[in-house]
Amino acid sequence: MASPGEGLPVGAEVEVDVTAFAHGGHAVARHEGQVLFVRHALPGERVRALVTSAGAGERFLRADAVSVLSASPDRVEPPCPWAVPGGCGGCDLQHVSLAGQRALKAGVVREQLSRLARLEVDVEVEAVPGDDAGLDWRTRVEFAVDDSGRAGLRRYRSHDVVPVDHCRIAAPGVDRLRVTEGSWDGAEAVDAVAPSVGEPVVVRVPEDGAGPVVRERVATSWTGPDGATVTFDRTFDVDARGFWQVHPGAAPTFLAAVMGELGVREGERVLDLYCGVGLFTAALAEAVGPSGQVVAVEADAAATDHARTNLADHPQVAVLTARVDDAFGVARPVRRGPSRRTGRPRAAARSPLVPPTADVVVLDPPRSGAGRGVCAEVARLRARVIVYVACDPAALARDTAALVEAGYRLDRLRAFDAFPMTHHVECVATFRPAEGGR
């Protein structure tokens, strides 16, 4: 095995056999014992790989497949001319058929749960309704701007701007804005947003004052606890640069998946953690009715301002602006200065708005996950069901291990291809008390 510093140099080319697909969108190969993470390759292929950079401590190398010597049956011609070595870094999987992409993502979810949670779970990645080609779906695109004021997309792991004509996965409303044809002197970036209600908008970054507010409509249905069909149709205010699902079919799909698992009953007490502008909160409030209670927690102040507006007709909802770990009184390390050294854990007082028990809990944390401390506090609520919406399989697996350790079992897992042409995958995991629990 090559020792650190003795491996292939950057710029070297080598023929390798690709053996696996890793979390993060990389195919995995080895050369004389050294691991290569190879973009634009597929398991089962033999490729010629160009080394582009070394990983931390040179424990691994990053590379691009610059030629394919033996192709996988899942390989296709990328629909975008910029999805090539040295091109745009936004899409990892344009060289893979949609069925192949979903199989790779399912394998990553299985592997992370097996490795980090010690669970063997069968996973199938489902298409999001309305998506049959994997293109023209992204309703929010941030374009980078170079020193000349030209907008484009970033090269992989680089600040370089690739001058694309238009993004092939961008929604038609984003394309109509023709951001890449304009001049954006003085801007660091340009956000193009095509909401489901109203006209597309452009936001210069940094903004001058408050950014625009857009409206998003969600219409869907699911089966309620009595077996009847529940319909939902509501419009939400959200900052143009705030968090909202970028695939137009994602929000209704995830909402139906979550509510169908929960079976919320009238009069129950529910926590909606990392609630954003209140998508799940609104449906939960309708389900528990005036006699129930929903506590929604979100760290982003702009999002909670919108949540209070969006939920003004539901007095049974309390919206708390706070980090979820702080709301539960979970100590977290303090980051000190530019070195980001970790200091002593920061003590936090549990918010009086967070109840000691709950019937139902929904979590939709950021990519880093909820964390062991939050999972332990959620388990102490003794909810009859917890549904966790995850955008990162590794974080989900770590938090699954924490919930299992705290007395819950993974009852069901669904995965959705809400980000076609990329390695990202969204999961909806349902947890219920293990034997002997509530």
- Annotation marks residue 391 as catalytic: yes
Give the C-alpha separation, 107 to 109, whole Å: 5
Q: What sign does the dihedral 149-150-156-160 (CA atoms) show?
A: negative
Residue type at 340?
Answer: R
Choose the catalytic residue: 88, 167, 275, 391: 391
Q: What are phi and psi of 301, to 5 degrees?
A: -65, -40
Residues 63 and 48 sit within 8 Å (Cβ to Cβ): no
- Check if the beta carbon of residue 384 is closer than 8 Å to that of residue 271: no
CA distance 156 to 153: 9
What order do you get walking across the sheet with 161-162 strand by strand?
Answer: 161-162, 151-154, 140-145, 189-193, 201-205
Euclidean distance between CA atoms 230 and 223, whole angstroms: 6
Amino acid letter at 186? G
Tokens 């941030």 belong to residue: 142
Cα 47 to Cα 24: distance, rounded to the nearest angstrom: 19
Structural tokens at position 5: 């510093």
Q: Give, in order, the Cα–Cα distances in Å from 138 to each of 170, 235, 249, 389, 423.
A: 4, 19, 10, 20, 15
Ranges of H-type helices in 319-380: 324-327, 372-380
Residue 410's φ and ψ, nearest 5 degrees, are -75, 110
Catalytic machinery residues: 391
